[in-house]
């Protein structure tokens, strides 16, 4: 099940940002913030060492034209020529025999030194628009640790609805279990917001 190969129209330019594919030369910038334990505290991977960064970079650089469930579109986010974060769109589910993916998950990681300026919101909003205008998606979702209040607020700014809070469904790195919050945005909600409805 998949799409004919669709390459999204990149780069995407917003008021202050450029969203583009990830290049191998982005390794140092991505490594700088992904090696910070505070940045990765609520992410599904620990602070990255050299080997972990190499694996992450391989996935990000390859994520240029998702086709089927499990595939990823990865984007680097630049502000004034500096890489400040990265975004992910992962196809999660398809419904119907031979149907294209209909649900995708959003994700983001940003350098803390660029926090508080609305850059993550601007970038994530551009990713939402790109997802719905490029792919025949019915729904976007985000899964996050409920303690990650910054990401929860970002989901709300995107117009996403808090749909679920599942208890102790994700193993923490310390051997304990953490909860998951699920946020969702339907295509019709995105269309209504764009049309001012």
d(CA 47, CA 34): 6
The pLDDT of residue 1:
47
CATH number for the domain harbouring residue 124: 3.40.630.30
Q: Cβ contacts of residue 46 below 8 Å, gap of 6+?
A: 37, 40, 52, 173
83 CB-side CA count, 13 A:
21
Order the strands of the 139-144 sheet from edge to edge.
Answer: 12-13, 17-21, 72-79, 82-94, 101-110, 139-144, 177-186, 161-171
d(CA 46, CA 52): 9
Residue 185 lies in a domain: yes
Q: How many domains does the chain have?
A: 1
Residue 7 lies in a domain: no
Neighbours of 99 (CB within 10 A): 13
Per residue in 89-137, pLDDT (tens digit) is 999 999 888 889 999 999 999 999 999 999 999 999 999 999 999 999 9
d(CA 172, CA 37): 14
Residue 5 lies in a domain: no
Residue 35 lies in a domain: yes
Residue 3 lies in a domain: no
Are 77 and 23 in contact by the 8 Å Cβ rule? The answer is no
pLDDT in tens, the chain (197 residues): 456 667 788 999 999 999 999 999 999 999 999 999 999 999 989 999 999 999 999 999 999 999 999 999 999 999 999 999 999 999 999 988 888 999 999 999 999 999 999 999 999 999 999 999 999 999 999 999 999 999 999 999 999 999 999 999 999 888 899 999 999 999 999 999 988 86
Domain residue limits at 136: 12-194
Residue 145 lies in a domain: yes
Residue 2 lies in a domain: no
């Amino acid at each position: 099940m998949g799409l004919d190969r669709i390459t999204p129209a990149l780069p995407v330019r917003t008021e202050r940002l450029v969203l583009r594919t990830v290049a191998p030369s982005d390794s140092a910038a991505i490594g700088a913030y992904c090696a910070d334990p505070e940045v990765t505290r609520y992410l599904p991977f620990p602070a990255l060492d050299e080997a972990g960064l190499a694996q992450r970079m391989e996935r990000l650089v390859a994520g240029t034209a998702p086709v089927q469930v499990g595939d990823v579109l990865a984007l680097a986010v630049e502000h004034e020529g500096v890489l400040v974060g990265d975004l992910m769109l992962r196809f999660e589910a398809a419904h119907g025999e031979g149907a294209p993916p209909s649900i995708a998950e959003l994700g983001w990681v940003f350098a803390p030194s660029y926090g508080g300026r609305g850059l993550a919101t601007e970038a994530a909003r551009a990713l939402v628009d790109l997802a719905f205008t490029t792919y025949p998606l019915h729904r976007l979702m985000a899964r996050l640790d409920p303690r990650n209040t910054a990401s929860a607020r970002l989901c709300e700014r995107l117009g996403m609805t808090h749909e679920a809070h599942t208890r102790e469904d994700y193993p923490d790195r310390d051997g304990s279990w953490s909860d998951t919050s699920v946020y969702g945005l339907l295509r019709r909600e995105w269309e209504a917001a764009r049309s001012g409805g």
